[in-house]
Chain A
């Protein structure tokens, strides 16, 4: 069974960079059949797509975050990462990683449990 697990600091200072890693087990991120994505949920709000990365390295970003978000992968460690620069309190959210099935224009079939990141001094 595929499992995804987010990890990273739970507290980040304003203007600094948020860095998270998603470790994948039970499957390979090098599979050409899937994309790997990041989604977040601010407190009391809905889900917001951040971006996806393909095994080839091709990346899609939400235009609202594109200038600050960087998604990368390390196939040797079977994990992918998110860096979000110049964070503000508005970036406080539960961050999820998930596997995207590219058919039907994309849906997320496996999710991590999420990790809360608070932006505060």
Chain B
């Protein structure tokens, strides 16, 4: 049972827009701590997609965007491409753990 809750799966056709939600609680996202997002392909380490709720590292396409409100955050992907087929994880800080917490991951299938 992950501290942050994500839908197990989402899907979309090429070119479409999908969103992935991440719900936390008062000890993490709800306390104002930032949310970060990762893309994970099999056999590789996760790749940082969004940090600080809505900032993209250099090299990440602007098709990926993040937002946060209250105890939840969302990752939006527009103009879906086949290469976006991957697992996506959210991460935040939790004051009860004094450390990082992750969501359970969302499998994005590009149809």
Question: Is B65 on the interface with A (CB-CB < 8 A)?
Answer: no
CA distance A106 to B91 in the complex (A): 9
B61: interface (CB < 8 Å): no
**Interface status of B100 (Cβ within 8 A of chain A):** yes
**Any chain B CB within 8 A of the CB of A78?**
no
* Given contact pairs A46-B89, A47-B89, A104 touches B102 in the complex (Cβ within 8 A): no
Main secondary structure of the interface of A (DSSP, over half): strand
B47 touches A107 (CB 8 A): no
User: What chain A residues lie within 8 Å of B52 (beta carbons)?
Assistant: 103-104, 107
- Which single member of B36, B100, B105 contacts A49 (CB below 8 Å)? B100
A-B contact count (CB 8 A): 72
A9 to B43, CA, bound (A): 18
B48: CB under 8 A from chain A? yes
Q: Which of A100, A107, A112 contacts B45 (CB 8 A)?
A: A112
Residues on B with C-beta less than 8 A from A114 are: 44-45
B33 touches A49 (CB 8 A): no
Q: Does A101 contact B (CB under 8 A)?
A: yes
Assembly CA distance A62 to B36 (angstroms): 19
Within 8 A of B (CB), among A20-46: 37, 39, 45-46
Chain A: CB-nearest residue to B37: A107
Contact flag A113-B103 (CB < 8 Å), given A101-B51, A108-B91: no
- Establish whether residues B51 and A109, one from each chain, have CB atoms under 8 Å apart when the complex forms: yes
Give the B-binding residues of A (Cβ under 8 A). Answer: 4, 37, 39, 45-49, 51-52, 60-63, 96, 98, 100-101, 103-109, 111-114
Shortest 7 CB-CB contacts between residues of A and residues of B? A111-B45, A105-B93, A46-B104, A107-B36, A49-B100, A47-B102, A104-B34
A-B pairs with beta carbons under 8 Å apart, 24 shown? A39-B100, A39-B102, A46-B2, A46-B89, A46-B102, A47-B89, A47-B105, A48-B102, A49-B97, A49-B99, A49-B100, A60-B98, A60-B99, A63-B98, A98-B45, A100-B100, A104-B36, A105-B92, A107-B91, A108-B36, A108-B38, A109-B51, A111-B45, A113-B44
